Structure 1
C-alpha cells in the first residue's frame, strides 16, 4: 500500500514540476532534465511514468484542468456579466496556463493534441452557453455565438498576456488595481451595449 502511495506522490510531483516547466518555457523550451530536477527525481523515472514529452504535456494539462475549482467557473446566467467574470477567472486561476498558450502561438511545433480535447470541450461549452442564451432571447440573434466567445476571450486575455502593450496604449499597468477596476467597468459597459434587451 505504501508503495502505491509513494508512486502516486512521485507522479504528482512530476506533474507539478512539469506544469511549472511547460507553463514557464512553453512546450519546445521545456526540458525533461529540468522537470526531473524540479521534481527531485532522475530523468529515467519520468520515462517510467510517462512515454515521453507529448504524453507528459497532455497529462499535465489534463491534471491542471481537473484541479480547477469547477464550482467557481460556472458562467453567469446574465450574459452582461460573462466578460467581467471571465476576466476575473483568467486573472485568478488561468494566468500561468494562458502564458503557456502564448508560447504555443509562437512555437513552430508539430501538430499534436497537447490537451486540445479538454480545452476544446471548455471553449465549446462557452459557445453552447451563448447559443442557449440566444435561444432564450438574451443574446441578439444576428450575432454568431462562436464569434462572441472569441471576442470575449480576446477582451479578457489580451491585457493579461501583453502588459507592455496595454501600458503603452492606456498608460496603466494591467496589474494595478486601478486598471483592473477600469477594465472590468469597461467590459460591463461593452456587454450592456451588446446584450441590451429590447
Structure 2
C-alpha cells in the first residue's frame, strides 16, 4: 500500500467513524441555584405542601411549557410524598373549576420572571386559595438551537406565604446534541428539558 493510498484509507476510516449513527448522546446539565433564604430548607417542603404552578411559556411554545410542567411534576414526585405535592396537573384542574383562582392566576402569571417581583399579592392569594404554604413558579427563558445544540433554560422560584417572601430561586438548564460529531444534530426538546428539570430539582434538594 502506497503512502497516498494509506492516507486515503485513514481519511475514509475517520469519515466513517464521524458518520456513525450510533454516536453517544451529549446532554449537559447547566442548572444552578441562584438564591436560598437562610430559613428555608427543602425538608420543609415534605412537612407541609408545595403547589407547582403551570410553567409560563415565555419565549417557548405553550406545548413546550406544558411538557416541561409534566417533567417537573415527575421529578418532584420522586422527592416528595403525594400528601406534600400539589402537581401542575392538579392545579390545572382547579383553575378550570375555580374562577376566583383563575383570576388570581391571570394577575400573577405575567410577572413570573427573574426580572419581576410584581404580582406577589396575587401569588399569596393564589397559594392561600389552594391551601398550600409553598408555591413553585417557573418561566421558560428560552428553548432554541444554538451552535448546533438544543438549549432549554427556565427560571423557578418558591414563594412562602408564611414568611411573605421568595425563599428560593434557581435555573434549570440543559444543552446538548443528539449526535455530537459531524453532521451535528440538536437533541430533541424533551430530552434536553428533562435534563433541565432533573438539574433544577437536584439543585433544590442539594444534589
TM range (shorter): under 0.3
TM-score (norm 1): 0.24
TM-score (norm 2): 0.24
Higher relative contact order (CA 8 A, sep 6+): 2
Q: Tell me which protein shows more strand as a share of its residues.
A: 2
